[in-house]
Structure formats: C-alpha cells, structure tokens
Structure 1
C-alpha cells in the first residue's frame, strides 16, 4: 500500500528531524506543520492525513479537561483557584513534564512577588465587599427616605383636611341652635384633636427624614 510505504519512508527520513523535535502543539497548527512536511514529498500520505484530520474527535478534549478538573478540585474551592490550577497543569503538560518546565527569570520574579500580589488581591476584594456593603446601605437609606417622604405627604394632606373640616364645622355651628351647635362644636374639637395628633406625627416624620437625609449624605 502506497500510504504505508510513504509512512515508513517518512518516519525513517523525518521521524527524528529537528523540525519534529521542535514542534510545539500549543503554539503551532498540526495541519500546517504536516502540510509543509508531507505535501511535496509524500502526497498520498498527506492526502490520508487530510482525511484523518477531518474525522470528528467528539468531546475527547472537553472530557479530558473535566478529568483534570476533578484531579485538582477540592471542597469549597473557588472558580479562580480552579482556573489557576488548570493553567499550571496545562503548562506542565505542554512542557513535557514537571522536570522540563523552564525556570525563567520572569517565573522566579513572579513567585517571589506572589505573596505581595496575594495581599493586594485580598485588599481589593475587601474594598469590593466594603463598597458593596456601602451600596446596599445607601440603597436601604434611599428606600427608607422615599417611604418617609410619602408618609409626610399623606400626613400633610390629612392634617390639612382635618383642619379644614374642623373650621367649617365651627363656622356652621355659629348659626345653629344650642343643642346642634354643641354637637357641631364637639365634632369640630374632636377633629382638631385628631389634627393635632397627626401634626405631631408629621413632626416626628420630619425629624426622621432629617436624620435619614444626614445619614445618606455621609454614606460614602
């Protein structure tokens, strides 16, 4: 078979060539690399590889990723930690093993400053949490202030209405007989007492609004 013969020839001629030894699967495309090597000298073999590369590999890569995730996963681990551990695993695999990982000056510097970066990260997370808490506190104050202002509007309308009704009853009582006058005056006084109670409530609400508004101004 021509493909088998060309494959044997290919292995004997190029199997241990410098190009194959330097091939980096994480940086180079396999189809491009094989095309440059096979297309001119081994056309039948290249045609076979073309068909082979077109075959579906299913979810093998994704499933391998899940297996790695299970290996690095522990209880209560955060997503960022999983991503970091996966990056380490992928780099070790790309390097060909732990002992083949290149120890560069950049890597040493990164390791030396890891603790400082971790502290900075913790400070940033703390500031984010504090900012979120301040935001929630501010939102709660704004909601409370809005409710108090609505209550103030209602109480203002009630006080105005009670005062108006009490005044009207007092005016109408002037032209009535003694018994009816007494009844209307009594109703008028009752409305005035209720008006006073509502006005006192209104004053309390005004004080609460002032307090909440002051808290909101200082909620930074």
Structure 2
C-alpha cells in the first residue's frame, strides 16, 4: 500500500518537475516535506519518508547513531525530546560511559529543579501561543 502510494506520488508530473529543481545543496528532508505538504497523501507515507530520511548517508558517525535513534524513537515523541535524549547519550559516551559520569551536588540540584523549569517552559509556551492567537484574531478582525 505504501509502495503504491509512493509510486503514485513520484509519477506525478508536478513532483517530477519539483525534483528536477533539487540541488545537492538543498536539504532533502525539506524538499520531501514540501512535496508531501502540497499533495494529498496519508500520514503513514509521510511517517515512512521521515524515517527513511533518518537513515545515514554514508557518514560513519551517523551510522553509529542510527541504532541508538531507532531505540529511542517513540511514535508521539517531539523532535526536541529526541534531540535532548541524543545529546545526553552523546555526552555520556564522550565521558567514556556511565561509570565515568561524575555526579556532583550541582548536577543533583539541576535535576531537582528540572521539573519546575519544565513547567515554567510550558507556561511560557502557552503564553506565547495565546499571544500569537490573539494577534492572529486581531489581524483577522481588521481584515474584515
């Protein structure tokens, strides 16, 4: 089903024209997401293409990280969460493994404070969302 849907996508003339304009300096993930955004295809196809784009392009560092990414990817996981988990993993590996991670009083205090920082970040995000919605409503009302 996905293969058929992908074949239908790639045989569309507008997609073929779009792909011919692709330059090696362009980001491949941005190109594919633009194509999919402008087409009517299932979320499953989009998810498959996103996961395929995670695959390495011959870079040994990325290849080593791919198996770790596979283990930590969750269906509803935010990109920020995946990046944060990967940064922690890379930091631990840079120190030579868990046995070499020094747990200081400062790090313990940071971890204790992480919950309140997270709540504060969520509150800030809600405020920003409300501001943007309000600005959008005001802009929408002035256009009437």
What TM bracket, shorter-length normalisation? Answer: 0.5 to 0.7
Could you tell me the TM-score, scaled by structure 2's length?
0.56
Match of 2:59 in 1: 59
Match of 2:110 in 1: 110
Match of 1:71 in 2: 71
**Structure 1 consecutive aligned stretches of length 4 or more whose deviation exceeds 4 Å:** none
Question: How large is the RMSD of aligned CA atoms in angstroms?
Answer: 1.3
Q: Of the two structures, which has the highest relative contact order with CA contacts closer than 8 Å and spacing of 6 or more?
A: 1
Mapped partners of 1:85, 1:97: distance in 2: 15
The alpha carbon displacement at 1:105 in A equals: 2.3
Q: How many residues align?
A: 87
Match of 2:38 in 1: none
Consecutive unaligned residues in structure 2, runs of 5 or more: 1-57
The alpha carbon displacement at 1:129 in A equals: 0.9
Greater fraction helix: 1
The alpha carbon displacement at 1:84 in A equals: 0.8
Consecutive unaligned residues in structure 1, runs of 5 or more: 1-57, 145-220
Task: Return the index of the structure with the highest Cα Rg.
Answer: 1
Match of 1:19 in 2: none
Mapped partners of 1:104, 1:87: distance in 2: 19
User: Is 1:128 equivalent to 2:140 in the alignment?
Assistant: no
